[in-house]
Structure formats: C-alpha cells, structure tokens
Amino acid sequence: MNRTLLSLSLLTVSLLPVAAADPQADQILRQMSSTLAAAPTFRFEATREIDEALLPGLGLTGKTRISVLVQRPNKFSALAVGRAGERRFIANGQTLTLFESKGNFFTTVPMPETIDALVEELDATYGFVPPLIDFAVSNPSQEFRRQSQSITHLGRGKTGGGFLGLGAVECDHLLLKGPVASAELWIGVSDHLPRKLVATFHRSGQPQLRIEFLKWDLAAPAAAADFAFTPPKGAQKIEMWTTARMESALPRSKNP
C-alpha cells in the first residue's frame, strides 16, 4: 500500500507545473528579476525577430526595434517599429491604447489597476500581450518559471558588442526548457540585466523568437506625456476584438 502511495505521490509531483532549477541558475534569474523589480521607472531598447511561422499573416514577424518605458505599477509604453510600420502600446493606468501606423488605426480599452493584471487580461481575453512585457511585470522570474519546466546554468560567455566584439558583455547563460518553447537567456554578470533571449518553439520547423537588448536605463525619467496618446490626423478608432468574438465570427461552412 505504501509503495502505491509513494508511486502516486511521485507521479503527481512530477506532473506539477513547477520549474525545476539548479540553484545557481535560480539565483541568477532571481537577481535579474529583483534588479528589474527594484526600478520604479525604467527604459530599455531591443531588437526582436520573430520567424513567420510563429505569427503567420499578422504582419508582426521579421525584425522590429522596440523601445519600452515602464513606470510601476501601472504605466507602460512600447513603440515597435518594423516592416509593418509603427505600433504603439500605451497603458496609462486607466486605459490601454494600441495604435498602428500602417492603417492609421487605434483602439482604446479599459485596463486593470496594474501592469501584471493588464497582461493577464490581455492574454486571457484578447490573446496577445504587448511586446517584451515579460520584462516589465513585477516579477519576471515568476513569468519565466511559468513558461519553463527546468532551468539550467550553461556557463558564462560574452554576448552583444559591435565590430570585433567591442562592447560585448560578460553574461550568465541560462537554458529554460518548457513544454511550448525552450529559451536561452543571457544575463549580465555585473548588472544582472537581460542581454539576449532566443526562444525556440516546439512546433514544425522549430521557429524562433530572438531578442537582443541594446540599452537599459534603470533611472529613466518619465513624464505624463510619455503615457498620453493623441491620435494622429485622420486616425480612425476601431474595435479590438476578443478571441471569443473572433471565434464566434468564424464561418459555419469552411468549403468555398
């Protein structure tokens, strides 16, 4: 009987969605998280490349340069510039505005009280999250653990840098294995800031998401104007559809 109990216990525990981390990797991830969480207002810039297979048809793939400004606990602004033009996300504590320059469209929806709650709501209701938001939530390490089953420290190495590697940063190299994707994350040894992330998705073709962080400013100034949105001339306000609404709009017949 005891053996049965033990077996069932082990099986149950093995199925729990908790990331197993080696102590060193865990500490490095926590340090990164604490560093970001301790900054009340911060700004960073990054390039993001998404393989077409990950977001087909939405025009969001390819290389995008993203600038993010965060003011905890409830203000967030992101500007993404890529081949689809400019996309802007502004959360001002009361509303979230999304603007897309290509069609000159914008939308505004009410937001919950915090960035964390906004992310949860957008993810659950609208099926997306703002770019690089994993690094703007109050506890990034928790977010990474949610996406991982195991976290391992692979060693140290330099990443980034320009010509001949000048300006490269010494980083701890982590591997986060998850059921949907596995990611390699490089975190600066001296400043504990994320420098690079490469996530490989377990789908056909192993498509990737690649993020390279270019600048961090953990003492960035922020003004109210940074989180205000004035529609450009001729901009048209359109609705933001939930995933449920889009599902209900699907045609009954799929045979043309």
Partner 1 sequence: MKSPIRLLLSALAILLLCPSAHAGRCVYGVSGDRGAAVAGPRGVAWSGPNSSGAVTRRGAVVSSDNGVAVAGRAIAPVLPRGYIAAVPVGARPIVYGGFNCYSAGGMYYRPVFYQGATVYVVVD
Q: Please tell me whether residue 95 binds partner 1 under the rule CB under 8 A.
A: no
Stretch that binds partner 1, among 21-29, 163-171, 187-195, 238-246 (CB under 8 A): 238-246
Please state, in angstroms and rounded to a whole number, the distance separating the CA atoms of residues 87 and 69. 14
Member of 21, 32, 46, 50 binding partner 1 (CB under 8 A): 50
Q: Whose Cβ is closer to partner 1: residue 221's or residue 251's? A: 251
* Alpha carbon distance 64, 146 (integer Å): 25
> Is residue 103 a contact residue for partner 1 (CB under 8 A)?
yes
Binding-residue total with partner 1 (CB under 8 A): 64
* Contact assessment for residue 72 and residue 81, using Cβ atoms and an 8 Å cutoff: no
The sign one gets for the Cα dihedral 197, 200, 201, 204 is positive
Q: Least CB distance from residue 58 to partner 1, whole Å?
A: 4
Q: How are beta strands 75-82 and 105-110 bridged, if at all?
A: unpaired
Footprint (CB under 8 A) of partner 1, residues 110-129: 123-124, 126-129
CA distance to 92, 170, 194, 204, per residue, from 69 (Å): 11, 25, 16, 35
In which residue are the tokens 């606990």 written?
Answer: 73
For partner 1, which residue of 3, 4, 162, 234 counts as binding (CB under 8 A)? 4
Q: Please choose, out of 20-28, 150-158, 215-223, 247-255, the segment that lies near partner 1 by the rule CB under 8 A.
A: 247-255
Site string for partner 1, 174-213 (x = CB under 8 A): ----xxxx-x-------------x-x-x-x-----x----
Query: Are 21 and 178 within 8 A, CB to CB?
Result: no
Q: Using the minimum distance from each CB to partner 1, give the nearer residue, 40 or 102.
A: 102
The answer to the question of residue 232 lying near partner 1 (CB under 8 A) is no
d(CA 173, CA 74): 31
Peptide bond into 251 cis (omega under 30): no
Shortest separation between residue 179's beta carbon and partner 1, angstroms: 6
**Nearby residues of 72 by Cβ (< 8 Å), 6 or more positions away:** 39, 40, 41, 115, 138
**Cβ–Cβ under 8 Å, residues 176 and 198:** no
Residues 74-93 that bind partner 1 (CB under 8 A): 84, 87
- Tell me the per-residue interface mask from 158 to 177 with partner 1, x by CB under 8 A, - otherwise: --------------------
The DSSP bridge pattern shows strands 169-177 and 150-159 to be: antiparallel
How far apart, in whole angstroms, are the C-alpha atoms of residue 201 and residue 206?
Answer: 5
Choices 30-38, 188-196, 214-222, 234-242; region in contact with partner 1 by CB under 8 A:
234-242
* Interface positions with partner 1 (CB under 8 A): 1, 4-5, 8-9, 11-12, 15-17, 50, 54-60, 84, 87, 98, 100, 102-103, 105, 107, 123-124, 126-134, 146-147, 178-181, 183, 197, 199, 201, 203, 209, 236, 238-241, 243, 246-247, 249-251, 253-256
